[in-house]
Structure 1
């Protein structure tokens, strides 16, 4: 009997969103943090460009990291997890033709969704200064190109369309862009950096389809609990910096203890460290290839 084809990561993500329950996705920046998210029992994860840039090249999320480096991060993360990965595709790394390449490349690397935004290059983190956006027509072309790329290639990947127009052009322009993105083929709409709960409610009440909230601790958008985000009308809540911020604080504290001649506190037991890195799975698989001697 022929085995049934395995459901794609995008299909699993789509099915999860269709349940109507808020999808909460902590963000990973590398394969290790992806392992930790899956081990914690989440349904999916977000791959943050801010986190990947910090982990991979030690630089800010200011357009310094390249398409190839980001695609390789998608590949490495998807290789270690069974969860759907929603991946940051920044501006698509160029014009509409570059967007097509980005979407196809992310899909081949295993991403369940790719996020494309309307900032000019070099882009910036959505909660930092200096953001500028392209005109609305060019922004819509990016989403059209993303939709064309997945349809023509036959690859199953969801498109998250992000607009940063709220910053310099106001909420009305951001809503108009998001509406146009939906018409161009976007699956999930992401209006970045609303300034209040009232603005968040307008986003969810006035836009069609699935909506994404971006919970950046210390950023412009109010940090609301998941139940309240769901009540407002959001379908997906991403936490792009939570894990990286917690990890950096813990590393700073451990380094300070070592510098001052003290044993660091709060370390994982070595056995748990080995399990999370994957040694137990490795040892289990290794037994399949152990030497077999004649009886």
Structure 2
């Protein structure tokens, strides 16, 4: 079954999908091992992990698609991917969708920010006019229907720049254009979240950013509001950074840091047992033994 079909089946199943976001193959593997049914390659997190740089449009299409290929190669669960603004005009959007699909992603998110874009919960973002936003989504949908096969998530950041009514109007239009999932970034109240889910007739995603603009709600409440997916874009990156800082502080102070994960457990996480089993299978030439 293709990654896209796996995602379609999940979207058709009952209940909210809790989606921790990944930034590399290891974090994706940990998400799958923890029992989650899907993940999302976060642009913020990939920019941080791969470049050590902020999510302000600095990371390129080539770097993102390369990261997607490594992530998708490490797991069997469907992974959604941040396609930013599509990296150019409508033809670039189509290339982005096709390239992300070839890398193994199940869905590509395309947004309506001005390039270079930035994290939706930070300062200084702007959005393109409606016509340009609609053209981007149409191009992504066309690429899907012309053979890419992946799902399309359409995102609007217009809430912060133009108000909730404009963001909602764009979200409705994205669904009408054929987007499979719609994401209204940074609603600022539970009532806005509820209205969005009620007015948009395709699966919707909530973005749970700690200390961001959107109320952080329990999964059960998000599901009751009407969301289909709850994304946690920075949770793993945040806890990983905190743990590394603690370990480095201990080393700097002359102490041995608590490894938290044993060497045996770490070997299991990255797949040594499977490797050894495969190695034993080819220990003797065919027909011998």
Whether the TM-score (by the shorter chain) exceeds 0.5 is yes
Q: Distance in 1 between matches of 2:61 and 2:278?
A: 34
Q: Deviations over 1:134-172 (max 9, x none)?
A: 0001001001000111211x2321100000000010000
Secondary structure in 2 aligned to 1:219? Answer: coil
C-alpha distance in structure 2 between counterparts of 1:182 and 1:96, whole Å: 18
Please name the residue that 2:71 is paired with: 77
2:26 alignment partner in structure 1: 32
Offset at residue 12 of structure 1 (A)? 0.9
Residue-pair matches, total: 288
RMSD between aligned residues: 1.1
| 1:93 maps to 2:114 | no
Tell me how far 1:294 sits from its aligned partner.
5.6
Work out whether 1:197 is the aligned partner of 2:197: no
Give the alignment's TM-score, normalised by structure 1: 0.96
Q: Give 1:285 shift.
A: 1.1
CA distance in 1, matches of 2:219, 2:71: 25
What is the aligned partner in structure 1 of residue 98 from structure 2?
Answer: 104
Greater alpha carbon shift after TM alignment, 49-58 vs 284-293: 284-293
Q: Tell me if the contact between 2:144 and 2:152 (Cα under 8 Å) persists in the aligned partners.
A: no
Q: What TM-score do you get using the length of structure 2 for normalisation?
A: 0.98
Counterpart contact for 1:8–1:156, Cα < 8 Å? no
* Aligned twin of 2:223: 230
* Aligned-residue offset at 1:20: 2.5
Looking at structure 1, the residues matched to 67 and 29 of structure 2 have their Cα atoms a distance apart, in angstroms, of: 14
Please say if 1:62 is aligned against 2:56: yes
1:4 aligns with none
Distance 1:114 1:21 in 2: 22
Answer whether contact 2:97 2:148 (CA < 8 A) is retained.
no
Query: How many Å apart are 1:29 and its aligned residue?
Result: 0.3
SS in 1 for 2:81: strand
* Unmatched tracts of structure 1, length 5 or more: 1-6
**What is the aligned partner in structure 2 of residue 3 from structure 1?**
none
User: How many angstroms apart in 1 are the aligned matches of 2:269 and 2:114?
Assistant: 39
| Structure 1 position 120 matched with structure 2 position 114 | yes
